[in-house]
Amino acid sequence: MAESYLLKNLKPAGPGTKDLPDKVDILITDGKITKAAASINEDATHSSDFGGAYVSAGWMDMHVHFREPGFEHKETIETGSKAAAFGGFTDVACMPNTSPAASSRDVIEYIRKKGEMQPVRVHPIGCVSIDRKGKQLAEMADMKEGGAVAFSDDGDPVFDSRLMRIALEYSSMWNMPVINHEEDLALSRPGHMNEGRVSTRLGLQGSPGIAEEVMIARDIMLAELTGGHIHVAHISTAKGVELVREGKKKGIRVTTEVCPHHFDLTDEEIERTGFDTNFKMHPPLRTAEDVEAMIEGLRDSTIDVICTDHAPHSVDEKEAEFIYAPNGIIGLETAFAISCMRLLHAGHMSLDDVLERMITAPRTILNLPVPDFKEGSQAQLTIFDPDAKWTFTADQVRSRSRNSPYLDRELKGRALGIFNKGELVLAEEI
């Protein structure tokens, strides 16, 4: 008998579900949806009743750092994939700042092949420049053949404007985006936190919003010139959002993404917590006005995507003094909860709109198919409860690192599991 799953008693939400009944049972055979109807009473090799939880197409996080090859003490493709599945993601795109950097087809294929063994789909992003050095263009065509879905030197900006121009010209031939970590290093360094009132009070050298904004402005102008697609990584300032809004109005191919911490937290957390390094990332946490602008940008679709910038660092590394600690936090396990709390439950966005930013938008940008519920389609689903209350404890971290500002915080909204690659993976069993 073929392997089959009957998922009972689910509430469909998000893209591709409007023709489904309000309550749905889903029958999956050999990884494909064979039936989705109000009530299914067929035998299946596995049957689970979800008691009215929600189901949507599988979520995608288009900005994660899985650290392999090279930094396996922080994260591996396996542990990162577990964190992703726990957080409800069926797909991730991973950034190329590994060692060696993913600037050759070999490394892209290594990541893709390792990803094939995981419960989530791992889509590698290739470097813009050889070894992320920002000097010479990497073999983009070759990496595309190997499975790269976009190009980025993330972790660092593509600082050289001529290189960015050429990268946009090349990538536009395949309709692929260049994702830039927008930071003018001459303005930002050393930049331990956001430059503003709080950094002045704390006596720390700050990285000003303008360092991000001038790079965004440059990239939008280069996208206009070349016809290429610039995707602004992890946007964090109100002025940056305004630049993207204006660029879109002019018909320029610019898209962007925001991380939950940038629509949830401000630089005051660093003062409040007495320099907790789990509030240190780049771009840094900004001000309350910037947080409001992130939410408004999501509401009016200036910001296309919610992503995590999941950036694991070991406990030892993060325990350094604030100015020496590395930038970044993990985010896969908590992204949905923070989105629920700050966007959905706060009344800023509907559940369908939040899901669109995590399902359709990232895949449209990366030219990947959006999962659907049609008979014969690959079953790629996320099962979740936006009202579930839970506390994110160290036990629940599935990442190899635990550098999260949300540890021991009470959260609302949680993924219960995913169905992906022919298997049901329940969060509590990961």
The residues of the shown chain that bind Zn ion, judged by CB under 5 A, are 154, 181
Tell me how far apart the alpha carbons of residues 116 and 107 are, in angstroms, rounded to a whole number: 14
- Of 28 and 335, which CB lies nearer to Zn ion in the complex structure? 335
The distance of closest approach from Cβ of residue 72 to Zn ion in the complex, given in angstroms and rounded to an integer, is 21
What is the phi-psi region of residue 30: left when phi exceeds 0, alpha when psi lies from -120 to 50, beta otherwise? left
Nearest C-alpha neighbor of 328 from the set 401, 398, 235: 401
Q: Which residues contact 322 (CB under 8 A, 6 or more apart)?
A: 192, 204, 270, 275, 277, 280
The distance of closest approach from Cβ of residue 215 to Zn ion in the complex, given in angstroms and rounded to an integer, is 11
The distance of closest approach from Cβ of residue 65 to Zn ion in the complex, given in angstroms and rounded to an integer, is 9
- Of 125 and 222, which CB lies nearer to Zn ion in the complex structure? 125
The distance of closest approach from Cβ of residue 384 to Zn ion in the complex, given in angstroms and rounded to an integer, is 27
Tell me how far apart the alpha carbons of residues 125 and 130 are, in angstroms, rounded to a whole number: 13
Residue number of the CB atom closest to Zn ion: 181
Nearest C-alpha neighbor of 361 from the set 11, 15, 13: 15
- Of 154 and 333, which CB lies nearer to Zn ion in the complex structure? 154
Tell me how far apart the alpha carbons of residues 319 and 310 are, in angstroms, rounded to a whole number: 18
- Of 91 and 154, which CB lies nearer to Zn ion in the complex structure? 154
The distance of closest approach from Cβ of residue 365 to Zn ion in the complex, given in angstroms and rounded to an integer, is 16
Tell me how far apart the alpha carbons of residues 322 and 338 are, in angstroms, rounded to a whole number: 24
Tell me how far apart the alpha carbons of residues 14 and 178 are, in angstroms, rounded to a whole number: 27
Q: Going edge to edge, which strands form the sheet with 423-426?
A: 32-37, 24-29, 4-12, 46-57, 381-391, 410-420, 423-426
- Of 154 and 195, which CB lies nearer to Zn ion in the complex structure? 154
Rg of the chain over Cα atoms, rounded to whole angstroms, equals 21
Q: Which residues contact 346 (CB under 8 A, 6 or more apart)?
A: none
Catalytic residue among 25, 61, 219, 309: 309
The distance of closest approach from Cβ of residue 180 to Zn ion in the complex, given in angstroms and rounded to an integer, is 9
Q: What element of type H or E holds 246? A: helix 238-249
3-class DSSP state of 120: coil
Specify whether 309 is catalytic: yes
The distance of closest approach from Cβ of residue 154 to Zn ion in the complex, given in angstroms and rounded to an integer, is 4
- Of 154 and 317, which CB lies nearer to Zn ion in the complex structure? 154
Task: Check if the beta carbon of residue 71 is closer than 8 Å to that of residue 396.
Answer: no
Q: What element of type H or E holds 91? A: strand 89-94
- Of 111 and 232, which CB lies nearer to Zn ion in the complex structure? 232
Task: Check if the beta carbon of residue 383 is closer than 8 Å to that of residue 192.
Answer: no
Query: Which residues are the active-site residues?
Result: 309
